[in-house]
Amino acid sequence: MKILTWNCRGIGNPWTVNALRDRCWREMPDIVFLMETMIDAKKLERVRSKCGFVHGVCLNSDGRSGGMGLWWRDIAMKVCSFSSHHIEAEVWGEDNIPKWRAIGIYGWAETEEKHRTWELMTTLKTRCSLPTVMFRDFNEILGMHEKEGGVVRRERLIDAFREVIDSCALRDLGYKGCIFTWQHGNTVNTLIRERLDRYLADEDWVYLFPHNEVLHFPIYRSDHAPILLKCGTENVRKKGKKLFRFESMWLSSEECGRVVSSA
């Protein structure tokens, strides 16, 4: 099982569409969750088709903000609920019985609205007993070790995020990837990097998929990176050395040259 998610910050140009399409065909994810598409549902449906998906839900953006999509292939899913900040779906087994839930979250970015993210997570988690995995942009860090740059103090928000994760009996599935994936934005004088995107799962879901791995890919035309969850009942790592393949989208990063020179 593979779940690919991306806060693409606008998918209305051919370069971003091609990057997503290439990632979908290269990794062959079973589920894709997109947010901040900034296009209407009809256009997003055409992007879905280009990426090789027939099934899924596409939500309109609100002008130049918002817009989401949850797509799937070769599995049975049923969308249970959605809003401008989440899409919730059940994954069904071959016996036509729901086995677990996949919930895409797009958290509120404004400080005074972050409590609404915690309330949404709590509501979605407590109203269903199925094994659950939540993913993507929660718009908050779990500690200062997930932040570089800036001087903003927000211990209260960090504590609140930790509390809601604990109360929902969720755990962070971790990540693997380069520091580029933490890039969040700029202040006047300082580049700020934060880890806002993650996969959270409860123990029942981890029991179903005891072997899992989260990979962060290079940032391309967004301040968020695509992230991929690979999970299964057996070890998701392939034996032997993986072949290196150069990603042309790396050239779009100013830090690419510095990394190559350093190496």
Rounded-to-integer distance, Cα 89 and Cα 104, Å: 9
| Residue 65 confidence (pLDDT) | 86
Where do the domains of the chain lie? 2-262
**Residue among 111, 120, 55, 116 nearest 103 (CA):** 120
> What's CA 23's distance to the chain center, in Å?
14
| Residue 86 confidence (pLDDT) | 97
At the second CATH level, the architecture of 2-262 is 4-Layer Sandwich (3.60)
Count of CA atoms in the C-beta half-sphere (13 A) of 48: 26
| Residue 16 confidence (pLDDT) | 92
Q: Alpha helices of 171-226 — where are they, by DSSP H?
A: 203-208
Q: Note the pTM of the prediction, 2 decimals.
A: 0.85
Contact 41, 173 (CB under 8 A): no
| Residue 181 confidence (pLDDT) | 47
pLDDT in tens, the chain (263 residues): 999 999 998 998 899 999 999 999 999 999 999 999 999 999 999 999 999 999 999 999 988 789 999 999 999 999 999 999 999 999 999 999 999 999 999 999 898 999 999 999 999 999 999 999 999 899 888 888 888 776 666 788 999 999 999 999 999 999 876 544 454 555 445 567 788 899 999 999 999 999 999 998 887 777 788 999 999 987 755 555 556 666 666 665 666 777 788 78
| Residue 64 confidence (pLDDT) | 79
Rounded-to-integer distance, Cα 46 and Cα 48, Å: 5
DSSP-derived secondary structure for 113-170: GHHHHHHHHHHHHHT--S-EEEEEE-S--SSGGGEES-----HHHHHHHHHHHHHTTE
Rounded-to-integer distance, Cα 142 and Cα 242, Å: 32
Rounded-to-integer distance, Cα 88 and Cα 100, Å: 11
